[in-house]
Each structure stands twice: as C-alpha cells, then as structure tokens.
C-alpha cells in the first residue's frame, strides 16, 4: 500500500471536474483569476500523486462550452491561462512519461494558436505510457448531444 492506499482497489481511470476555483478565491478575498492559478497547482499535485501510485488514466474537465458564457475578460483569461499552462507544463509531463490528450470540440471559438499548441503537445507526448492525462477542453453535455444528432 502506498500512503494508505490499497493498490488492488485502485481504479485505472479517475476523472476530475475542475470547478469552483473562482468561488474558492472569492471566499478568500482574492481575485477569481487567483483561484485558477491555485487550481493549476492542485491539478499537478493530482498528476504527481497519480504517477506515484501508478494511476493509468486521469481525465480533467478543464474548459466547458458553457465557459464561453462567462464575462468576456474571464473567458479570455481562461483561454490564455490554459494555453500558458500547456506551454509551461508539457515538457515536464513529457519527461515524466505522461501522454497528453485532448477531447472536445477543436473548432469554433478556440484560437488557432491554442489548437496548434494542443496538437504539438499531443504529438510530443504520443508515445508516453506511464499515464494518460486527458483534458476535456471545449466540451459539454449539450454540445455532445448536438454533435451526436
């Protein structure tokens, strides 16, 4: 057992909805954007913990289609934040053997430069198998139903 975890009972795939970062910050008298930065640290703590215990798949719901309804400044911040997070962390993830994948809509309002970074990161990490980190990015239940129909 690692850190009190019965590894025989551990799931192979864990999914996390990254929600509430802005509310977390507001409750502490911080800017909503400070909450997103804290969320990044929590995400990579989860990745590190998953690697330590041998978790095979981690999916994080990072940016839903509903996020486009947020105030324009916050939506832009989130898009830039996700882009910079990707650029800052992809080499480290690659060195740790993490394959990075993205699911969700690749078109629409997502800037082309962000799509290029997504494709570059997926290509860079494609052969890694220690863990697969999947970002649900520009996804949504309603959007998935529309796409399926």
Candidate list 6, 21, 45, 67, residue with the active-site label:
67
Q: Is 67 a catalytic residue?
A: yes
Would you call 6 a catalytic residue per the annotation? Answer: no
Catalytic-labelled residue, pool 19, 73, 91, 92: 19
Among left, alpha and beta (phi > 0; psi -120 to 50; other), residue 42 is alpha
Catalytic center residues = 19, 67
């Amino acid at each position: 057992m690692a850190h009190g975890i019965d590894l025989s009972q551990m799931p192979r795939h864990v999914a996390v909805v990254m929600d509430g970062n802005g509310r977390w910050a507001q409750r502490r008298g911080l800017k909503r954007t400070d909450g997103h930065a804290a969320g990044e640290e929590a995400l990579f703590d989860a990745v590190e913990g998953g690697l330590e215990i041998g978790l095979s798949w981690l999916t994080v719901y990072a940016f839903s289609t509903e996020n486009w309804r947020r105030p324009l400044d916050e939506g832009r911040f989130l898009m830039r934040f996700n882009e910079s997070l990707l650029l800052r962390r992809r080499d480290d993830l690659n060195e740790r053997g993490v394959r990075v994948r993205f699911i969700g809509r690749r078109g629409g309002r997502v800037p082309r430069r962000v799509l290029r970074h997504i494709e570059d990161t997926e290509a860079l990490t494609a052969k890694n198998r220690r863990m697969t980190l999947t970002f649900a990015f520009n996804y949504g239940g309603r959007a998935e139903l529309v796409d399926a129909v």
